[in-house]
Amino acid sequence: MRRHFVFCVVALNWSWVSSFTEAEVDDDGALAALEGSGRQFGRQFGPFEYIHPRLDAQLVSPLTTIAVRQGSLIKAESIQGKIKVHGSKSGNVQGEIVLAADGQTVIFRGNKPFKLGESVQVSVLGGLKTAAGFAGGLQWRFTVRESLPFSTDPLSKREKLQEQRRKIRPVGKSYVLDPPSVPDDAKSGMMDDYFIPRGVREGSNHTMMRGTFGFKNGFELMNTFPVAKYLQRNYKTIPPYFPRIRMSVPAKEGVQEGYVFFTNRRGPTNQREFEREHPWLMMLDNEGDIVFFTEVPGMYDSRGNLIVTDAKMLSFDAALFDHRFKKVKTFTEPHGYKKDGHDFKIDKDGGAIMMHEDTQYMRHKGRTVRINAAVFTEQDKYGNPVFEWRMWDYMTVDEMLQFGMLNDQGDVAHPNGISRSPDGNHVYSLRHMGVMKVNRRTGDVMWRLGGHHGFSDFKFVNEPRPFAFQHFAHEIKNGNILMFDNHVNHDGEVARAVEYQLDHKAKTATKVWEYTHGNQIYSLANGSVQRLSNGNTAICWGGMGVGPDMQGDWSAPFYTEVKPNGEVVMEMYFEDGQNSHSAHKYTRDQWWAEPHWPPALVLDSSNKDKIPRIHFSWNGATNVAKWLVYQGENGPPKRLTKTIDRKQFEHFVKVERARQVCEHYQVVAVDSNGKRLKASAVVKSYACKKNQ
């Protein structure tokens, strides 16, 4: 007979924390500690490398989950009953215990939110089984905030969502949390067919604001730039108010093959009023021809990145789309936070990392200040929160105000970028502070770069003007830090892309590459930079169409591709001065698509000769090699009249008898192997309509 006892060892140098060890005692009374049990020295949280909320954490969301990660794979059958939670107001808290998709993180989700202001005690009992044996236990406390963090989303509304609470279901030997079902939306914000024109947007009055401070306004040269290919061809299957794009530098030798992904964003006439008409998602090829477009509904934030994930899926806002442009899933914000629209990433394993701002009013030196503290979260492919980094846990209010920028909105940090580094950790971009790297397993800050007032761990050795107000800072494959440096409100105010090499022993940051576009571009906000597979760098200059004096319209390229030596091999502008929050290029191997909607086919005679034509395209399709054109007296037509090699987004065929003879038209897309992909709808000639 073997009996189990739990032994408690109090760690005196911790603030109210205990570490538990499970041991077995034989009948003869000999104590036999299991292998792998007990406190593992060198770890911050007893036997665990990560706990959430942190030890003695304050201002914790009442909707938080509780998580521990031991660092080894855990047997799913050993987790039940191992986490006990007690609130000073809630009493014993009932909930569910699940094992996340990584097989290492154990999560407790309470059935109800915690009470505001209560102290919560967490007890993780020994006995979580790993391959090495049994992990020890741990006990700690945290405190729930006194007031709600949701200025626009009250707790009562969140409580209603508890009715849709995730359900436990087994997956193999693990238990996962199913996220609440999302109503099926076949369109998913993506178009089903060509757009029906809804009227042309009234022309903007572009004040020709001359460049100041040495800056160059793109409007001064816009009429000298050739229009993009789709404008040269006078396409009929796109709406008349589709954005007009100019190729200031048509693609040259050495350009990276692939497609440019971007959105459009109209900037402010002042810092508070935004004009956002007709937000689009777009893809263009190197010739400036359309690959894909859709006008996004108002529910989406056009600032969000349109990107291809590591798993070669399409991501926008907080949604994931497949190669047919069907929505696979939508990620929900954990712990009651609101997602920040600046950035969102989906990993190749299907998990997601996102940013938030947690607003609190704090007393500081005799006055009340508003602080929007940055929060970064990661969830697995099932929606389990497996990591959270809160600024409250790593900076005091004094440090936040010292490192950041205090304004009426409390925007001390302004998080605007999140990414996973090549070694699996996180890199965060804080516009008003700098850049930091965080250990994804433990939450520890590994280093901080740039900023001012003592924020940086590194000294710049060859940089007379360190970066400021940056966007899209991330670690690239060689370990260097690449970013878009807006550099507003600082000397020079010249925007650029810049790359730094960090020496972690000497604590120095060395500039190893930059591109400034001749010191001619001003960028108030937004922007991105991407190192391409052929060594080129893709730069979005952002700026939102606003110039240095915040008056008139201002134009900067939304996409510039440069070689390592600074030679521009491709560049594009929005004709009306819009820009993109970010722009990225992906190769044909990274992105291909066969949309779930059919090809578009329209009959039109608005050409200069007034000859009827059928125009056809397949928005989003990348694998069309040929078009089969069918005509006939009845529909669907059976007579193949033409086979056309696909050479551009849209093609047309003259149908000169369309006014005299009732005919039916249809086109079929064919791939390079001769496979028929999808047929368009059948369109009737003008004569058919007259005879009806």
Say how far apart CA 39 and CA 95 lie, in whole Å: 27
Helix (H, G, I), strand (E, B) or coil at 219: helix
Residue 172 pLDDT exceeds 80 = no
**Mean pLDDT in residue range 518-537:** 95
**Mean pLDDT in residue range 297-326:** 81
What is the phi/psi pair of residue 534, to 5°?
Answer: -90, 5
Q: Which amino acid is at 602?
A: V
Tokens 């996220």: give the residue. Answer: 179
188: left (phi over 0), alpha (psi -120 to 50) or beta: left
Residue 438 pLDDT exceeds 80 = yes
Query: Which range has the worst mean pLDDT, 34-38, 439-443, 500-504, 685-689?
Result: 34-38
Q: What is the pLDDT of residue 488?
A: 87
Residue-level length of the chain: 692
Confidence at 655, pLDDT banded by 50, 70, 90: very high
In eight-state DSSP terms, residue 288 is: S
CA 589 to chain centroid, in Å, comes to 21
Q: Which amino acid is at 60?
A: V
* C-alpha distance from residue 667 to each of 19, 612, 626, 664, 670 (Å): 71, 16, 10, 11, 10
Q: What is the pLDDT of residue 277?
A: 54
Structure tokens at 623: 């694998």
Helix (H, G, I), strand (E, B) or coil at 240: coil
Residue 34 pLDDT exceeds 50 = no
Strands 459-460 and 508-515: parallel
Q: What is the pLDDT of residue 90?
A: 97
Q: What is the pLDDT of residue 686?
A: 95
Instruction: Kindly state the percentage of the chain with pLDDT values over 70.
Output: 80
Say how far apart CA 337 and CA 351 lie, in whole Å: 17
Per-chain mean pLDDT for the chain: 83
Q: What is the pLDDT of residue 42?
A: 41
Q: What is the pLDDT of residue 692?
A: 64
* Tens-digit pLDDT profile for residues 48-57: 999 999 999 9
Query: Which range has the worst mean pLDDT, 130-139, 191-200, 646-655?
Result: 191-200
Closest of 613, 575, 645, 589 to residue 201, by C-alpha: 575
Residue 476 pLDDT exceeds 90 = yes
Closest of 438, 437, 427, 372 to residue 405, by C-alpha: 372
Structure tokens at 221: 């040269």
- Are 395 and 356 in contact by the 8 Å Cβ rule? The answer is no
In eight-state DSSP terms, residue 400 is: H
Residue 152 pLDDT exceeds 70 = no
Residue 478 pLDDT exceeds 80 = yes
Assess whether the previous peptide bond of 636 is cis (omega < 30° from 0).
yes
Q: State whether the Cα torsion 579-580-581-583 is positive or negative.
A: negative
- Are 37 and 23 in contact by the 8 Å Cβ rule? The answer is yes
Structure tokens at 87: 């609130």
Beta partners for residue 531, in sequence order: 537
**Mean pLDDT in residue range 126-150:** 87
- Are 486 and 525 in contact by the 8 Å Cβ rule? The answer is yes
Q: Which amino acid is at 510?
A: T
- Are 107 and 382 in contact by the 8 Å Cβ rule? The answer is no
**Mean pLDDT in residue range 95-106:** 97
Q: What is the pLDDT of residue 343?
A: 92
Confidence at 604, pLDDT banded by 50, 70, 90: very high
Q: Which amino acid is at 439?
A: N
Residue 632 pLDDT exceeds 80 = yes
Say how far apart CA 201 and CA 190 lie, in whole Å: 21
Structure tokens at 511: 């500039």
Say how far apart CA 456 and CA 279 lie, in whole Å: 37
Q: What is the pLDDT of residue 542?
A: 92
Structure tokens at 92: 């014993």
Confidence at 174, pLDDT banded by 50, 70, 90: very low
Query: Which range has the worst mean pLDDT, 197-211, 255-269, 398-412?
Result: 197-211
* Tens-digit pLDDT profile for residues 263-301: 887 654 433 333 345 678 899 999 999 999 988 765 455
Say how far apart CA 60 and CA 50 lie, in whole Å: 16
50 vs 4, higher pLDDT: 50
Cβ within 8 Å of residue 224, ≥6 positions away: none
* Tens-digit pLDDT profile for residues 392-436: 999 999 999 999 887 778 999 999 999 999 999 999 999 999 999
Structure tokens at 372: 């929007």
Q: What is the pLDDT of residue 490?
A: 67
Structure tokens at 219: 């409007």
Structure tokens at 348: 């190749």
Residue 210 pLDDT exceeds 60 = no
* Tens-digit pLDDT profile for residues 372-397: 999 999 999 999 999 999 999 999 99
- Domains with residue ranges and CATH for the chain: 3-178 (2.60.40.3710), 600-691 (2.60.40.10)
- Are 228 and 542 in contact by the 8 Å Cβ rule? The answer is no
Query: Which range has the worst mean pLDDT, 141-150, 360-369, 669-678?
Result: 141-150
Q: What is the residue-wise DSSP string for 443-495?
A: --EEEEES-STT--SSEESS-SS---S-EEEEE-TTS-EEEEE--TTSSS---
Say how far apart CA 307 and CA 326 lie, in whole Å: 15
* Tens-digit pLDDT profile for residues 557-599: 999 999 999 999 999 999 988 889 999 999 999 999 999 999 9
Helix (H, G, I), strand (E, B) or coil at 374: strand
Confidence at 325, pLDDT banded by 50, 70, 90: very high
**Mean pLDDT in residue range 290-318:** 80
Say how far apart CA 247 and CA 557 lie, in whole Å: 9
